[in-house]
Amino acid sequence: MHSVPPYVTYLFATLLVAMIFCLALEEKLHAKKSVITGAFAAVSLLLAAVFGLVHPETVILLGHPIRLPVYIPGVDWEVIAIILGSSLFVDVTSKCGLFTWIAIKLTKASGGDPLRLLIFYGVMTVVFSAVLNNVTAMIIVGSLSSVSLAKLRMTDKLLGFLLVEGLLTNVGGMLTLISSVPNIIVGNAAGISFVDFFLKASPYVVVATAVTIFMGARLFRITSLKEEAAKSQAAQLVAGFDENDGIESAGFFRFGTVMTALFIVAMASVSVTPFIRDLGMGYVALAFALIMLVRYKSTADRFYQAMDWDLLAFFGCLFIVINMMEHALVLELIGDGLKPILGLGETTGAGVLLFASAIASSVTDNIPLATMLAKILGTMDMAADSPFWWAVIFGANLGGNITPIGSASTLVAVTIIHKNKLPMSFAGFVKIAVPFAVVQLLLAVGYLLTILR
Amino acid sequence: MTNLDQFESAFKSSDKAIYTFNRPRFARVLVVTDLNATGLSGFTEQIRSYLAVIDGDQVQWDALTADDFQSVQEVLEQIEKRKPDLIVTYRHLKSNAWQWPYSLGEYLDVMTQATAVPVLVVPHPDAGRAHSHSLVNTDRVMAITDHLTGDDALVNMAIGFTATNGTCWLSHVEDQGIFERYMDTIAKIPQLNTDTARETIAGQLLKEPTDYVAACQAEILAQDVPVKMERVVVMGKRIIEYREIIEKHKIDLLVFHTKTADHLAMNGAAYPLAVGLRQIPLLMI
């Protein structure tokens, strides 16, 4: 490890704090994440060059010497490939009508009963968050909730539905390795396989889902219909939904369904599939996206235009900033600060780290936090089954449930709430969400210390 | 990336109007004429034969002759007193203006707006403009509207008047003129793709009534109603399209809405239809 003067480390640490602060105030600054992190990446790179922390390297690729810019190796391209490929795959697959078909089928199966609808939508939110991503899940289930409750003339229950769904996106986001970005980053750094991640996370997700729905039903007084006439009317109203309306082609629908199943299987078996294990999950995600794009080969550019380039550029720039922080020994400094916590041992230490991660993620983006902690824990040679990795995963995901800015999906939930002209302030959200988040975090600590340790 | 509006639109589109069949019942029918007692008898007989599908022992037929009223007010009082479920009449009562096909006459004008009762308007007995198939039976009935989706009342009325094993056309004509006006506006907005807007809006405008007719067909099949249902969902100039469809299918009865929410005047295309289509009976609801 090279030596860095302390004042340089503190200068970079100040930059890191400033970036996190700016990201927390993203809305106030009217600046996109990619622009904020991009600006800090540019400044960090310049300062790193000025202080001689980084030097351009020449690498030999297939016998050719290539001068590699310092910001290229700092980016975790596997993570970028997974996010790019998965987003594109989900976007194209959603055109086949599979997700709307499932959503409407469940709505009809509920018979329009509010409690059954809450349970079905809650479970659907968790599953969609796990298979797709939590933002898409919230968009699908949230928009269906507003349409179906309006049809059932139960808009007074919409606020409760949207809040429960928003809180469940972050629970569902813990089900698989690819369900959320912190999972991908921490899972990759820890070397946790897709199957292992699922087996360890799923029992908690099941319990937390059931508890969240139960609490939501009690708090928002969502109960079953009692009278036969009301039941019959509700069933008739939801019967008007046509699950086949969004299916443009039966063939593409079947193809999309099969490909979604294969995508999950392929992702789950990357580590044991010959050749594919060398290419990684990013390759699988991109390959599946490409196969789906064949259906829209002449208009594929529409999907490229629709990609969230802000998010991808944000990741790219964030990795550069974190890499520069590593060179400036800022991560080592934070690691030293974390040592007292980690020194508390795998029981108390993991519990404290979980709560600390949750509180930090509740006020700022959980991705920089996960990236930073993954780097720090990685340098400490933590075993893949160490509870500290899981403490970061649980904390980074569930912290998003404390405030509306804690995660992108809760922000989407609040957007839908405001779109439907329902009153919901920042403080109002926190007041309702905190009891849910505390229960979910306590369950997580209990699970971490009894089952995962 | 998926967006909120995309899925909300998909779910709203999947929310289809459901049709419930309810056969309309007519316990009292009031025939309003300016004929004398002799003329009334033959006229009523012809009407009862024409409306055999709604007639029966339980239906009470009343009639007003020329002597029963002297003003619009008196007709309205008679309607109020007799409380019919259906009024049968023709244009230009107590007037010779039937010779000029440019209006309805004061009696009919008021009757269609001042009462909530459906009015069956038949060709004037003296005018000789009726088609040969008019007033024979109701084998071929057509409901017309520019907003068919969810209009159970109109569909029920059309089916209710269709003779057993007859055909009922559900017609929805989307106004081409209005559509083109919006398209012209969209063409001037750089943020909106004109071709996409034209294709998708036209498609959606016609999809909804098409889906609704499918729901109606499924319901009458399920209810075992002995009526064949056909669909006419197009974009065009309303009056011209209606005339063509009526001629093409030799329609025996045309059913349409006339009342606006404020009951001040006939809605949309109803007035020109009521004035212009003098060859066949019109059921104005």
Ordered by start, the domain boundaries in chain B are: 28-177+206-284
Q: Assess if residue A54 is contained within a domain.
A: yes
A416 in reach of chain B (CB within 8 A): yes
Closest CA to A437 of A175, A163, A180: A163
> What order of strands is seen across the sheet that includes strand B28-32?
B60-64, B28-32, B86-90, B119-122, B282-284, B253-256, B140-145, B167-175, B228-236
Q: Does residue A147 sit in the same domain as residue A50? A: no
Predicted confidence (pLDDT) per residue in B146-165, tens digit? 888 888 999 999 999 998 89
Which residue's entry shows tokens 């029920």?
B156
Q: What is the mean pLDDT of residues B166-172?
A: 91
Residue that has been written with the tokens 């007639």 in this structure:
B55
Distance CA B124, CA B91 (A): 6
A250 in the same domain as A161:
yes
**pLDDT for B254 beyond 70:** yes
Q: Which of B2, B8, B18 sits opposite A91 (nearest CB)?
A: B2
Per CB-CB distance under 8 Å, the chain A contacts of B150 are none
Mutate to test the interface with B, among A245, A302, A308, A310 (most CBs of B within 10 A): A245
Do the chains contact at B2 and A136, CB–CB below 8 Å?
A: yes
Interatomic CA distance for residues B120 and B242, integer angstroms: 18
Question: pLDDT value at position A380?
Answer: 81
Judge if A55 and A69 occupy the same domain.
Answer: yes
Structural domains in chain A (count): 2
| B211 close contact with A: CB closer than 8 A | yes
For residue B213, with 0-12 CB atoms within 10 Å meaning exposed, 13-18 middle and 19 or more buried, which class applies? Answer: buried
Which tokens sit at B47? 């009407």
Determine contact, residues B182/B176, Cβ cutoff 8 Å. Answer: no
Identify the domain containing residue A19 by its residue range. Answer: 1-73+310-330
Q: A159 at the B interface (CB within 8 A)?
A: no
Based on the domain organization, do A2 and A106 belong to the same domain? no
Give contacts of B7 with chain A, Cβ < 8 Å.
100, 139-140, 143-144
Q: What is d(CA A224, CA A245) in angstroms, rounded to the nearest whole number?
A: 28
Chain A residues inside the 8 Å CB shell of B213: none
Mean pLDDT of successive 10-residue stretches along chain A, which has 453 residues: 84 91 81 91 94 83 83 84 85 85 91 94 92 82 90 91 94 89 88 90 95 95 91 89 86 91 85 84 91 87 83 87 89 81 84 89 77 85 87 91 82 86 86 94 91 73
Nearest to A313, CA basis, from A22, A33, A15: A33
Instruction: Confirm or reject contact between B1 and chain A (CB < 8 A).
Output: yes
**pLDDT category of residue B1 using cuts at 50, 70 and 90:** very low
Is residue A8 domain-resident?
A: yes
Contact list in A for residue B14 (CB cut-off 8 A) is 100, 104, 241-243, 245-246
Predicted ipTM of the assembly = 0.75
Environment class of B281 (CB within 10 Å of its CB; exposed 0-12, middle 13-18, buried 19+): buried
A114-131 and A98-109 are packed helices; what angle lies between their axes, rounded to 10 degrees?
160
Indicate the range of A438-442, A444-448, B76-80, B278-282 predicted with least confidence. Answer: B278-282
* Cβ–Cβ pairs < 8 A, chains A and B: 67
Alpha carbon separation from B259 to B32, B210, B217 (Å, rounded): 20, 24, 26
CA atoms within 13 A on the CB side of B10: 29
Q: Which residues of A touch B199 (CB under 8 A)?
A: none
Residues A7 and A154 placed together within one structural domain of the fold: no
* pLDDT of B112 above 70: yes
- Using an 8 Å CB-CB cutoff, list chain B residues near A103: 11
Task: Tell me: do A44 and A102 sit in the same domain.
Answer: no
Q: Angle between the A366-379 and A387-398 helix axes, to the nearest 10 degrees?
A: 170
Q: Which residues pair with B145 in a beta bridge?
A: B172
* Nearest partner of A409 among B199, B108, B4, judged by Cα: B4
Residues A48 and A90 in one domain: no
- Asked if A143 lies within 8 A of B4 by C-beta distance, the reply is yes
Residues A125, A16 share a domain = no
Distance from C-alpha of B98 to C-alpha of B88, rounded to nearest angstrom: 17
Residues A145 and A68 placed together within one structural domain of the fold: no
Residue A289 CA to residue A87 CA, distance in Å, equals 8
What is chain B's length? 285
| φ, ψ of residue B122 in degrees (nearest 5) | -105, 160
Length of chain A: 453
Nearest-CB residue to B10 (from A151, A246, A416): A246
Residue in B14, B16, B18 closest to A100 by CB = B14
Residue A407 in domain: no
CA–CA separation, A19 and A29 (whole Å) = 12
Interface touch B1/A306, C-beta < 8 Å:
yes
- A114 and A59 together in one domain: no
Q: A148 and A46 share a domain? A: no
CA distance linking residue A140 with residue A340, whole number of Å = 43
Are A242 and B4 in contact (CB < 8 Å)? no
Which pLDDT belongs to residue A315?
Answer: 82
Q: What is the DSSP string of A203-220?
A: HHHHHHHHHHHHHHHHHT
Residue A16: what residue type?
L
B31's enclosing H/E stretch is strand B28-32
Shortest distance between the Cα of B13 and any Cα of chain A, in A, equals: 7
CATH number of B28-177+206-284: 3.40.50
Instruction: Please indicate, yes or no, whether residues A27 and A126 belong to a single structural domain of this protein.
Output: no
Q: What share of chain B is helix, strand, coil (3-state, %, to 5)?
A: 40, 20, 40
Q: Is the pLDDT of residue B220 over 70?
A: yes
Alpha helices in A399-425 (DSSP H): 408-419
Residue contact B2–A139, C-beta within 8 A = yes
